[in-house]
Structure 1
């Protein structure tokens, strides 16, 4: 019964990934996910792997790393069975670390509202590409037209793009970032070409994602030129001591995207409790910014109006108060659902 339950759980994960996340944005991954969801043999093979290695993003990236043709599932199923050992080996070596710099376009609106110096601490930082929101140019597509904003140093080699539902979301000022740190189980050196190749391989195939690879490599060059310190370790164990290193005169901003979904319910609750007590623990102002999916924390879900479309979107929160919906790869930013 346990094995059957595990197989059913995995099939449901792949079905949800295909129908809810890949649909409309990566037709190939939608096809692969739905194909595997209905493939008893492959689902049983996945059930033999550690749970962290069963996830679609990792399996699909491992398939591509091993040379899987970008063809419909019916055409690559035999390849997958034949190369299963290699796919499993690659998945055991690497992990999912979606380091999408375009998410900074959705971080800038709340960051721009914080006056004075800011210390950034990203949990789940990977190569730290999201630790440079003040180094990228952005095209904000507003109801009135496109507004391009450049960082204080001038136009950047990295141009982000984001559609917003309100002119007020376009930053009127840039955050004054004076300190940057990250925490990750497996930090990535932005100067390591092989590691950046893996990050590029994690980008989904499809026309909606083609620009992401070039943007990732350009952002990696910026990070490599001024590498932030990324501490190796578990976020639950390290967040307090790393936070305590931030300059006392700066507002510490702890932020993350699609990180808590990899924790179980108890771990998510523990992290939320750590964030709630962090300001008192380290004796300085703390802002907790979060981009996470529905279903991560029930108190956040309860703030999302019934009927709100949340596919391909995170719920963005400021100290556990929902303030916007943010596209999973930074392409949209919508405040209307939470307008007072």
Structure 2
């Protein structure tokens, strides 16, 4: 049995849905998988989600004690220290899903407890190598594997709409660029989706519609089916899951050139420095040309096919099974 100590999806939607897709792949292979949520909001009864049993805090099941029946303990984000203590106490292998290159992430997996570290990109794996080389007193995980955040194209595919969209109005996601573009281009429709974390930068412009946070299974219908261009003017992205989701519908993505976004979007992405507002406007206007849009859309679909998660999920499952 694999047990995950996790936040519910509203805490950090991208990380949680990426984790869920990994877990449902294990369940599909016949493994028993439990997720023990660490925050109270949400359901009060256990429920099944794609073959994964979800245990809310309201049931008052002690995760530390629960790990005694686990074959593998999986954790991520701020839950890693407590999960590591539980895994160490019961002698169970600990797997850590790494979603960023922040020092705290590498310190947690370098505690000497981690049996397997899962990096979401090649550049994150390289950053981990550099960090451990600079901190030789930390214990590098026994095993490491790269598993890109799995996006099943069929889950997100939709016929693109007519909006220029930003997902998550958190300042670090580039909300200021979004609002300035909307102000500069009053004749165009903009769509802003509230994020699941961070203070949301909500303003009032007549050509901008702001919608509440959208659950993963409804993104195709409520967001990508309304989107013509996706903006990702982020300060930091370790990968950039929403870009991969949008490309499943052939939606062109304009983004800042962070290492993660360059790796995830590949040649299909259009990259503009965050402080180059004229460049952002020009990139949007270039896609007014039908031929240019068709070319960008075809490139997005091609990149989406290249990101098919089958091989990554197989690699993930084999890595987990090797621990058991």
Quickly name the TM-score band, shorter chain normalised.
under 0.3
Whose RCO is larger (CA < 8 A, sep 6+)? Answer: 1
* TM-score, length-scaled by structure 1: 0.26
